[in-house]
Structure 1
Amino acid sequence: MARPRTPLLDRERIARTALQLVAEQGEFSVPQIARALGVQTGSVYHHVDGRAGVVELIRELVCERITDEALTLEPWDRALEEWARSYRAAFAAYPRAIPLLMTTPVRAPRVLAHYERAVALLLAAGFGSAQVMPLLTALENLILGSALDLAAPEAMWEPSPQTPLLARALSTVGTGRADAAFELGLAAFLAYARTLRSGAKS
């Protein structure tokens, strides 16, 4: 029998199948991946280092959507702003992957290299070493929370007669609540980061 021109199994197909499962049900298992690809479970393990290896493949696939060039922009705050927007868009495409990826350690070399560039950007901008990870973590919290918010219903509150102030506030928001909240949070983050940077350089 002639060998198929396209390999039946490879890391990219495993990653895309796992990400599809996560998008549909918020989780995956290696046997589910194998069934979806029409192979034995053991065949999947020949290509990945167990479940943790699949998680890292998913991480790489999602993070491919983040624009690396954003971190090369100048000045530093413009770079962070564009990076944040790209990061949010990447994860907003797969909101159900966020809990999975944010509760497991990052090991994927390509993703670690991305963080290395972000750290280098902040250090070159004049931030102290002890400030870098709190800044990046705070920005990630804002980005990922906003990415989840984009997947939520536009109307997240159902006011009652006992909450007239809430009802009035909601009536003034209009559409785009999640985007408006993200812009507010990002502006506040960057303003505080500029203050920190000034203190670090003085």
Structure 2
Amino acid sequence: MLPDLFTPSTLRALELAGIFVFAISGALLAVRKNFDVFGIAVLAEATALGGGIFRDLIIGAVPPAAFTDLGYFLTPLVATVLVFFLHPQVERIQRGVYVFDAAGLGLFCVTGTTKAYEYGLGLTSSATLGLATAVGGGVIRDVLANEIPSLLRWDRDLYAVPAIIGATIVALAIRLDALNTATSMLAAATAFGVRLLAIRYHLRAPRAWNRRSETAEEE
């Protein structure tokens, strides 16, 4: 068994914060796509909760937390209302939203990996589900909005890589019997920092060598 790294109330508060900022990103994309209020709410909910629901279904933690804790469901609706009425103002603080989104990414890759391991998965599988927890909602968001998922696009700043790094640190800490609050926060902070560096310097994954595709590059 792993140690209790956070009190339940602290963990819930951190997860709700991550859910809120992910929901903001989903709602903003819905506004850009000219969705109605229902579409905005659906995209906000899917972005915020999709990764966690996927993880919980895979590990058998059913019903998923998103369906047993009303706060998990209501938080994206709060983000929906905020964006619906104040989206021009929210767009202006988009850089700040990116910072919080990076923080949510760091948190979810840690909690996702830890929860998967507690449910009996191996280290590699746990780290993989930690990645899925962090980025799954964004993939669902893009698919619903008829976009190529940012996770698969070379012209987007690194997103999966920071989550992979954070999840791998957690897995290594478990392997070395060194998982505690400090190492968990180190993993989350590392993922957070790498994501911010990717945003700041537009770091991107390499494409195939000797690529001859003439497909138009999207901005």
Per the normalisation by structure 1, the TM-score is: 0.30
Larger Rg: 1
Per the normalisation by structure 2, the TM-score is: 0.28
